Chains A and B, each alone.
Chain A
Amino acid sequence: MPEPRSLLDKVWDAHAVRTLRSGQTQLFIDTHLVHEVTSPQAFGMLRDLGLKVLMPERTFATVDHIVPTHTRVEPFEDPMAAEMIAHLRRNVAEHGIAFFDVGSGRQGIVHMVGPELGLTQPGTTIACGDSHTSTHGAFGAIAFGIGTTQVRDVLATQTLALSKPKLRRIEVNGTLGPGVYAKDVILHIIRTLGVKGGVGYAYEYAGDVFDRMTMEERMTVCNMSIEGGARFGYVQPDATTVAYLRGRPYAPQGADWDAAVERWLAFRSDPGCRYDDVVEIRAEDVPPTVTWGINPGQAVAIDECVPRPEDVPPGERQAVEEALAHMQLEGGQPIAGTPVDVAFLGSCTNARLSDFVAVAEVLAGRRVHPRVKAIAVPGSEHVKSECERLGIDRVLKAAGFEWRAAGCSMCLAMNPDKLVGDQLCASSSNRNFKGRQGSPTGRTVLMSPVMVAAAAVTGVVTDAREVFGVGREVVA
């Protein structure tokens, strides 16, 4: 009997080219994704070294971080944004790299584009100069963020020098309560294990909660693995994965399809394989969760109070004080009722079709609170057109949301979408770091898209279950 192996073991072994002198592995990267912000220097280094792209057909590029979402008319107002996009256009043309440009129908946040096009496949290795590359783990891929020097390494050699992480299985079993979403599951995991809990680990998300999740929900979970310190996390490929991929432009077709499915499913972790750690969480214990502080682990249930510095261990007191000061919150106050200035629906965490469908269902016939600026930014041109085909954009606009073009937008505020001053944003994104949304004093409260909708309507951080009667019998 061969030793039972995890998906991580199998993918790692299949992609290990050789062991380097440092002891690290030279790991083959099947799919390399590129965007405009972390790639120009890498192409520049390649040019300086006189190297070419080794396997241009394995790299795919789009623009997402810096592209404006309020207009698609070029030249863009920001000359530096225009220059970075021009650099990418020149680089992909020079090296023969597939490029999903604005207006192609395939542009979008790089972590939405890969899955939509069927580029993201089980058992593959995927790298991108963006930490949220962990999103692709939803398909049973080993997918992780890299720096720009490593982008150069992939371009030049299609490999990276890496150390294999330890593996932690996070099992969530049971039934999620009404009004509890995938976003709440991952926020709860990060709150439980901490923002450094995953350093040195890969996360294998398992249990019947993940088994029942759609691919879009699994992507939301895997997306935030990095916020828990784990460079990547994955869900085992199954029938849901296979059904999602069937017919996508880059998915295998015809006779190749059946062979691919067989190969993909064989990457599943073997029963009895070894884990370095196992964590079990009851689905019933996961509440609608929101952050109160300045990292994604500083989170509470929507009906809880924010911590008081004196309630936490002495080593954490200073961090709590710093977070409370930045957020302008008093220790011990309920998080619910905190006034909101901006509502942001978007980002690679929660800007997929299902997110906008869920929001449109609760927003129909409601209005955004007069104090709140509300923007909805589909993650991709594909999601945008699907929403428009289904009339979801009309529901959002009627409620008072601005309906934008696809991009990263206010998640990291490299384009004109930014908080102003100390505005507080109810956000479906992934990071509540100080200054993250474009203003050094801006404040971010992370939550699920339906909770963002509830905050937009009421003007305060609030329990969507109460505002919308989520989970109660709704008369159609």
Chain B
Amino acid sequence: MSAFEPVIRVTGTGVAVCGDDIDTDRIIPARFLKCVTFDELGEGLFYDERFAPDGTLKGHPLDRPACAGASVLVTGANFGCGSSREHAPQSLVRAGFRAVVAGSFAEIFFGNATNIGLACVRLAPDDLADLTARVQADPTLPVTVDLEAMRVEAGDRGYAAAMPDSARTALITGTYDPLAELLEGLPQVRATALALGHEVPS
């Protein structure tokens, strides 16, 4: 089992994709789910928001030249609602994002994202509005998501961030992929299965 790099601090530039309830169909349209690996998913990120049907750019924030290389996505509440497709956080990671700062997250998206090491933190509404405005005004502004301090720093401004303890601990200690620990529990898994009345091959 390979060890995973701890995710303690993410520093980079930010890009704001505004709006609440941004669903996973919008993050990665279903046609991009026709794949048997996740490798190419970065190209489908927010595709229909970014490209008109004729392939021309619609002027999405992700396509502002000044936002190229951004690694912190700043967005609204209930980010990632809808489908359970892990392709959504996979496409963010493959497009270079290492952290998402939002008003809140839909539950399945949050689990899928943190399981692959994408840091997802919440900000209070006023702080989120302030960060959004600053990132929009200056796409070169360095943004740091600090999971140890539970803060988001943007230039000379800082905000208190929030995240469930379990996910925070897992990211900081590099144990966000739960498989190794789940496998350690196999003797107890068999015991639970037996107690539930299942036949368990030895």
A23-B169, A147-B112 known; A435 vs B25 contact (CB < 8 Å):
yes
Q: Point out the residues of chain B lying under 8 angstroms from A227, CB to CB.
A: 82
Q: Point out the residues of chain A lying under 8 angstroms from B3, CB to CB.
A: none
The reply to whether A434 and B193 contact each other, CB–CB distance below 8 Å, is no
The reply to whether A22 and B111 contact each other, CB–CB distance below 8 Å, is no
The reply to whether B53 and A24 contact each other, CB–CB distance below 8 Å, is no
The reply to whether B81 and A195 contact each other, CB–CB distance below 8 Å, is yes
Q: Point out the residues of chain A lying under 8 angstroms from B25, CB to CB.
A: 412, 431, 433-436
Task: Please provide the chain A residues from 176 to 192 with a CB less than 8 Å away from any CB of chain B in the complex.
Answer: none
Residue of A nearest to B18 (CB): A318
The reply to whether B86 and A49 contact each other, CB–CB distance below 8 Å, is no
Cβ of A107 within 8 Å of any chain B Cβ, yes or no, is no
Cβ of A246 within 8 Å of any chain B Cβ, yes or no, is no
Query: How many pairs of A and B residues are in contact by the CB < 8 Å rule?
Result: 204
A22-B170, A147-B111 known; A157 vs B175 contact (CB < 8 Å):
no
Q: Point out the residues of chain B lying under 8 angstroms from A144, CB to CB.
A: 108
The reply to whether A55 and B84 contact each other, CB–CB distance below 8 Å, is no
Q: Tell me the complex Cα distance, A133–B37, Å.
A: 23
Interface size of B by CB at 8 A reads 64
Q: Point out the residues of chain B lying under 8 angstroms from A161, CB to CB.
A: 178, 181-182
Task: Please provide the chain B residues from 137 to 168 with a CB less than 8 Å away from any CB of chain A in the complex.
Answer: 164-167
Chain B binder among A78-86, A346-354, A358-366, A461-469: A78-86
Task: Please provide the chain B residues from 42 to 100 with a CB less than 8 Å away from any CB of chain A in the complex.
Answer: 48, 53, 77-78, 81-87, 89
Q: Point out the residues of chain B lying under 8 angstroms from A5, CB to CB.
A: none
Contact of A153 among B48, B106, B178 (CB under 8 A): B178
Q: Point out the residues of chain B lying under 8 angstroms from A65, CB to CB.
A: 33
The reply to whether A158 and B189 contact each other, CB–CB distance below 8 Å, is yes
A318-B19, A435-B25 known; A18 vs B188 contact (CB < 8 Å):
yes
Cβ of A332 within 8 Å of any chain B Cβ, yes or no, is no
Q: Point out the residues of chain A lying under 8 angstroms from B20, CB to CB.
A: 196, 319
The reply to whether B86 and A153 contact each other, CB–CB distance below 8 Å, is no
Q: Point out the residues of chain A lying under 8 angstroms from B181, CB to CB.
A: 20-21, 26, 161
Residue of A nearest to B165 (CB): A23
The reply to whether A414 and B169 contact each other, CB–CB distance below 8 Å, is no
Q: How far is the CB of B180 from chain A (nearest CB, A)?
A: 10
Q: How far is the CB of B68 from chain A (nearest CB, A)?
A: 24
Chain B binder among A34-42, A112-120, A272-280, A303-311: A34-42
Task: Please provide the chain A residues from 1 to 52 with a CB less than 8 Å away from any CB of chain B in the complex.
Answer: 14-18, 20-24, 26, 28, 30, 37-38, 40-41, 44, 49
Q: Tell me the complex Cα distance, A275–B121, Å.
A: 27
Q: Tell me the complex Cα distance, A436–B199, Å.
A: 42
Show the binding face of A for B, using Cβ within 8 Å: 14-18, 20-24, 26, 28, 30, 37-38, 40-41, 44, 49, 54-55, 57-58, 65-66, 78, 80-81, 83-84, 87, 129-131, 133, 144-150, 152-153, 156-161, 163, 165, 195-196, 199-200, 226-227, 229, 231, 295, 318-319, 322, 412-414, 431, 433-436, 438, 440-441
Show the binding face of B for A, using Cβ within 8 Å: 1, 18-21, 23, 25-26, 29-31, 33-38, 48, 53, 77-78, 81-87, 89, 104-108, 111-112, 115-116, 164-167, 169-170, 175, 177-179, 181-183, 185-186, 188-189, 191-193, 195-196, 198-201
17 A-B pairs (CB sep. < 8 Å): A17-B185, A21-B175, A24-B166, A28-B192, A40-B36, A55-B201, A157-B183, A157-B185, A159-B189, A195-B81, A196-B20, A199-B107, A227-B82, A431-B25, A433-B26, A434-B26, A441-B53
Across chains A and B, which 5 residue pairs bring their CB atoms closest together, nearest first? A147-B86, A147-B112, A145-B84, A440-B48, A161-B178
